[in-house]
Amino acid sequence: MDISKEIAVPETLDHFQPNGFSPYHFFSSEEWAQFRADTPLTLTGDEVSRLRSLGDPIDLQEVRRIYLSLSRLLSSHVESSQLLFEQRNRFLNLSGAVKTPFVIGIAGSVAVGKSTTARVLKELLARWPSSPKVDLVTTDGFLFPNAVLQSKRMMDRKGFPESYDVAAVLRFLSAIKAGRPDVPAPRYSHLTYDVLPNEFTVIDRPDILIFEGINVLQSRDLPADGKIVPMVSDFFDFSIYIDADEDHIHDWYITRFMRLRQTAFRDPNSYFHRYASIGESEALEIAEGLWSKTNLRNLRRNILPTRPRADLILRKGVDHLIEAVALRKL
């Protein structure tokens, strides 16, 4: 049987299927939209506008096309996970075991729309008929403080895997998966571009946790002695990668930077306030430098290589909207 003919592959995802073999099913956005079935639309246009990030054009039509089907898929995964939990407890003759949260990891480059996806999913999932408790945590708070990065001469690699306190991430997710109450997650300010000292968001046994960050699917070198080396993704029940052509992400990043000069950068407390008053050509040159020296390198070296580890890949087109979907086969 020629499995390459099992499902037509949209041209935008051809590069995921070398020689016709792939662990994924592929769908155009139109095909994917059909899987929403009778899933109700529980968001309003105003709510979607509030949830989307600067420069992200997502609207109710995009929620209908992509996110209702995704919500329905995740609902089936959560239900199956709960059923497996109960079956395993019976198998092991366990009683009183604490049900652990279903953890969804969301990865992808800067400026690709991870935050919008995470916020929209959080609202949709929380409005299921069962009214689950859904929390959202980003990895920004787990970055080393700027003072530490500066002392290690790593500010130009902020966002690279080595700029995160991975041990703290693993402790946090381990506590979440253990069902512990009131687990603190460190907070981050995009205004000051730094971790907020002694400020935390308390996560108290949610039914679903969305964990979003550029490197959450990052793997690690395996030890020769076979000792357990946990990875962040080991704690995920489902993972999503937001994907787009490198050139598109570059354009979105530059456009966002230039727009922020007219908004957030004008705040005197902003770490980037100095860029608000310089000329446009100089600002553009700085934005291009930040992209090429930090974000592009991180994308090529660390982020993009994790794409094949995702359960679901949402592929965006030049208009910043999803044009194709890849779902890992069972």
Report which of 124, 137, 285, 318 is spatially closest to residue 213, judged by C-alpha positions.
137
Binding residues for ATP: 108-115
Specify the CATH architecture of the domain 7-328: 3-Layer(aba) Sandwich (3.40)
Q: Cβ distance 35 to 19 under 8 Å? A: no
For Cα atoms 49, 51, 52, give the angle at the middle one, nearest 5 degrees: 70
- pLDDT score at 302: 96
For Cα atoms 216, 222, 227, give the angle at the middle one, nearest 5 degrees: 110
Number of residues that make up the chain: 330
- pLDDT score at 13: 58
- pLDDT score at 8: 47
Longest dimension (CA), the chain: 69
- The residues pairing with 325 across neighbouring beta strands, listed in sequence order, are 27, 314
Alpha-carbon distance of 113 to 249, in angstroms, equals 10
Mean pLDDT in consecutive groups of 10 residues from the start of the chain, 330 residues: 39 57 92 96 96 93 97 96 92 86 98 97 96 97 98 96 97 96 97 97 97 94 82 97 98 96 95 95 97 97 96 97 96
- pLDDT score at 19: 55
- What pTM value is reported for the model? 0.93
Torsion of CA 18, 20, 24, 28, to 10 degrees: 100
Binding residues: 108-115
- pLDDT score at 6: 40
- pLDDT score at 212: 98
Q: Cβ distance 191 to 264 under 8 Å? A: yes
Alpha-carbon distance of 181 to 101, in angstroms, equals 11
Residue-range domain boundaries for the chain: 7-328
Q: Cβ distance 137 to 77 under 8 Å? A: no
Alpha-carbon distance of 136 to 222, in angstroms, equals 29
Report which of 317, 104, 117 is spatially closest to residue 207, judged by C-alpha positions.
104
- pLDDT score at 95: 83
Six-digit token string for 236: 């995920």
Alpha-carbon distance of 330 to 229, in angstroms, equals 25
Alpha-carbon distance of 244 to 120, in angstroms, equals 19
